[in-house]
Structure 1
Amino acid sequence: MDTGRFDGVTGPDRPSYSTGGAARRLGVSPSTLRTWQRRYEVGPTGRTEGGHGRYLADDLERLMRMRRLMLGGAPTGEAARASADVRAAPPAGRRAVPVRRPSVTAAVRRTQVRRLTGAAMAWDQAVVEPVLATALRRDGVVPTWTELIVPVLTSLGVRHARHGDCIAVEHLFTGCVRAALAAVVAGQHDWDGYPPVLLACPDQEQHSLPLHALAAALAEVGCPCRVLGASVPADELAAAALRITPRAVFVWSQTAATARSADLSALPPRRPPVPVVVGGPGWRRQGRSGSTVHVDSLAEAVAALSRRAVVAEL
């Protein structure tokens, strides 16, 4: 069995790895490595006495450069060609992220919030959709979610609490938001072989819009996701994690009643363990466990999950 450690094939100063061992090091599937070797001639340069390919340290370093370039936005073929240059990618342990775009002023944002709230109250989808699309394109997902979408949802929630209406209006606005976020995800590249992050709400949790915001924000930094959505039973979440073998799992709970640590413990064991990140008001009253990362904002969730998407050091 390949443990990913030195096995004596190439000498004590030149450890080597089989395709399976190299794939585990990189966080991709063995079939992905074989595809890269076949399509882009990025493969093992070592050989056993029997002629089988073995990945040497230099081979893995090149593949890491290739992966970092892909995470930074380069197409797979371009990343494969550029990875031959040791200067082609960010240093190990760092990740290329989009340049932060300047946000609009607070006064402009308040005007946008009032305009969007009024448009939603008037059922004016023709106004809501382009404003959301423009803000997402210009400012990015995190600022738009934090400074525009959440305040509008909060305003509609306050009105509902005072007057008992706005539920249908909130559904209309939420549908527009979800469509705009989906367009962001659809506009990103699907990175070949990159393990996705699994996003879900636990059983009985119906507030899934934050999952779609997180999927769009992660797509902006080259991190694909699988969104399971609302009210996913613990056994179904565990089955999905077993089938998909995600890079990380994120669970959102709006209420304390749905934030159940037992649901997280049902996730299948894996070596190394799959990182679990939780977010939402529901988790704030739960005890902090050493193996679970708690985040309190969309920006924190993106940072926590994208760190887990970076190829590990040798």
Structure 2
Amino acid sequence: MSEAAAYGDVTHGEDRGEAQPATEAGVPLTTGALARRLGVSPTTLRSWDRRYGIGPAARADGRHRRWTRQDVAVLEAMCRLTSSGVPPAEAARAAKETAETPPGTAEVFVRPPSPPSRSKAAGTLPLGDVRQECRGLARAAVRLDAPAVEAQLAAAVEQYGIAVAWQEVMAPTLHAVGRKWASSGDRYVEVEHMLSWHVSTTLRRHTPAPERQGDVSATGPVLLACVPGEQHTLAIEALNAALGALHLPTRMFGAAVPVEALTAAVQRLGPSAVVLWAQARSTASLPLARHVADTQWGVKGARRGPLVVLAGPGWSGPSTRGLPRPQTLRQALDLLSGAHHGETPGERP
């Protein structure tokens, strides 16, 4: 199963629409603005210009690139063709021919690579109604353009914060990659692996360093762990980063934590809450969750136990009476923040 499936019903943002490549006044675009418009890196645009002659028709002061509406049309055709699997050199020739053909006389030339190769990741991703940033990220991922993927992920986090960037940019794009992979055999596995790697890298890069707790009597941290047999960690990495942004202490244990190790960690740390992630129903174990909820620490007469939070689509099958199961990252953040500050589930409006 793909890493893509996240907090149950992932809430998608509205499609923001793209800015026009040039204004009615005919103001040309800079390379940076055009790169953001197309969802590619400026380095890619310069490379296409150098290798295939797809560059601006004119340069201001003989140096600075300014892309006109016709230049943008050529590059848009280039992006459509390469996303469909056409080799870049062939796509460049077809894109320039398309731009030179009077409107209405020919359709855009799109065909699979020749000779066909199942190792190439061709085609667009089924994104649906999502933020515009998802489309640029998906195009970069399909092209295996790692610098562009990295830059767009970092920009999403800087603009929206971890929680919104995960739910409305990262997760929808990962879902689309997972669906494409599932419907195409193993053709898109390299796209899924690369995108997952860079999402994980971005999340960790934006996770604040753990803060020392000066008061030994302070509320314990939030423990995050995958249940035994579960290897998918991206969603709880996002949750860990978002909790860090709220200055809530956490302990991340990652994939497939054995029951004995999880129990020992609970007894040693005295956490305010334990998040158990299960991607698949085959790994979700309600007896395990209840065992963790029953684990206590402290002196006799004042023993305490953690709030156990069930996260992930794997818990959609079993009855989870008494154990909260947030459906979105925002719900999980509200629940865990309340637990850290001594609230019980249901006390918040």
Say yes or no: TM over 0.5: yes
For 1:1-314, list aligned pairs within 5 A.
106-107=16-17, 110-164=131-185, 165-186=187-208, 189-193=211-215, 195-267=220-292, 268-270=295-297, 271-290=303-322, 292-311=323-342
**Offset at 1:265?**
2.8
Residues 99-129 of structure 1: per-residue CA shift (max 9 Å, x gap):
xxxx896336633111111111111110111
Residues 195-241 of structure 1: per-residue CA shift (max 9 Å, x gap):
21100010111111111000011111111211111111222211111
AA of the residue aligned to 2:289: L
Q: Is the 8 A contact 1:251 1:278 kept in 2?
A: yes
| Secondary structure in 2 matching 1:199 | strand
Q: Is the 8 A contact 2:200 2:237 kept in 1?
A: yes
Counterpart CA distance in 2 for 1:122 and 1:178 is 19
Q: Is the 8 A contact 2:140 2:149 kept in 1?
A: yes
| Secondary structure in 2 matching 1:157 | helix
Q: Is the 8 A contact 1:200 1:252 kept in 2?
A: yes
Moved more, 217-226 or 105-114: 105-114
Rate the CA distance shift 1:200–1:120 in 2: closer, same or farther, 3 A: same
Q: Is the 8 A contact 1:160 1:166 kept in 2?
A: yes
Q: Which runs of 5+ in 1 are unaligned?
A: 1-102
Rate the CA distance shift 1:255–1:312 in 2: closer, same or farther, 3 A: closer
**Offset at 1:159?**
1.2
Residues 166-190 of structure 1: per-residue CA shift (max 9 Å, x gap):
2222111111111111122136755
Root mean square deviation of aligned Cα: 2.2
AA of the residue aligned to 2:296: P
Q: Is the 8 A contact 2:208 2:245 kept in 1?
A: no
**Offset at 1:279?**
1.1
AA of the residue aligned to 1:309: H
Counterpart CA distance in 1 for 2:213 and 2:159 is 24
Rate the CA distance shift 1:260–1:134 in 2: closer, same or farther, 3 A: same
Q: Is the 8 A contact 1:253 1:280 kept in 2?
A: yes
Higher relative contact order (CA 8 A, sep 6+): 2
Identity across aligned pairs (percent)?
A: 32
Q: Is the 8 A contact 2:296 2:305 kept in 1?
A: yes
AA of the residue aligned to 2:184: H
| Secondary structure in 1 matching 2:282 | helix
| Secondary structure in 1 matching 2:279 | coil
Q: Is the 8 A contact 1:197 1:247 kept in 2?
A: yes
**Offset at 1:191?**
4.8
Q: Is the 8 A contact 1:234 1:266 kept in 2?
A: no
Q: Is the 8 A contact 2:210 2:250 kept in 1?
A: no
Q: TM-score of the superposition, structure 2-length normalised? A: 0.56
Rate the CA distance shift 1:302–1:312 in 2: closer, same or farther, 3 A: closer
| Aligned position for 1:24 | none
Rate the CA distance shift 1:144–1:188 in 2: closer, same or farther, 3 A: farther
| Secondary structure in 1 matching 2:137 | helix
| Secondary structure in 1 matching 2:238 | helix
**Offset at 1:287?**
0.8
Counterpart CA distance in 2 for 1:212 and 1:309 is 19
Rate the CA distance shift 1:246–1:188 in 2: closer, same or farther, 3 A: closer
Q: Is the 8 A contact 2:286 2:320 kept in 1?
A: no
| Secondary structure in 2 matching 1:116 | helix
Q: Which runs of 5+ in 2 are unaligned?
A: 1-12, 19-129, 298-302, 345-349
**Offset at 1:311?**
4.9
Q: Is the 8 A contact 2:270 2:305 kept in 1?
A: no
**Offset at 1:272?**
2.4
Which structure has the bigger radius of gyration? 2
